[in-house]
A = this chain, B = another copy of it.
Amino acid sequence: MKCNCELKGYLSYLVLWIISKKNMTGAEISKELEKRRGTKPSPGTIYPVLKELKDKGLITCDGNKAYSLTYKGKTELKQSCSFFCKMFYDIKDMFDCCK
């Protein structure tokens, strides 16, 4: 446990979430992550994640390299959201906490 802020492990979940809102290329996803995290993920971070999600059949990639969720990916994301929201059911208080 190096730094709580890093929240290791959220990344692939977040990538699914980001793609669910809009089909995006790797570069676009990286930019979106930069907005959220403050730092852009290294290519060695983002592309292996995309590859794994693809290998697991959760996302597909069209001719323009834009990634989108498969049906399986949508299902998986719903489950993850469900888990996430249960885990952080009191996140509203967290928003208040840092104000």
**Could you list which residues of chain A lie within 8 angstroms of chain B, going by C-beta atoms?**
1, 4-14, 16-17, 20, 36-38, 49, 52, 76-89, 91, 94-95, 97-98
**Total copies of this chain within the assembly:** 2
Separation of A77 and B34 alpha carbons in the complex (Å): 22
What residue in chain B is nearest A48 (Cβ atoms)?
Answer: B1
- Verify A4–B8 contact, CB threshold 8 A: no
- Contact (Cβ within 8 A) A8 B9: yes
Q: Are B87 and A37 closer than 8 Å at their CB atoms? A: yes
Give Cα A36 to B4, complex, Å. 18
**Residues of chain B with a CB closer than 8 A to A4's CB:** 12-13, 16, 76, 80
Contact B5 A83 (CB under 8 A): yes
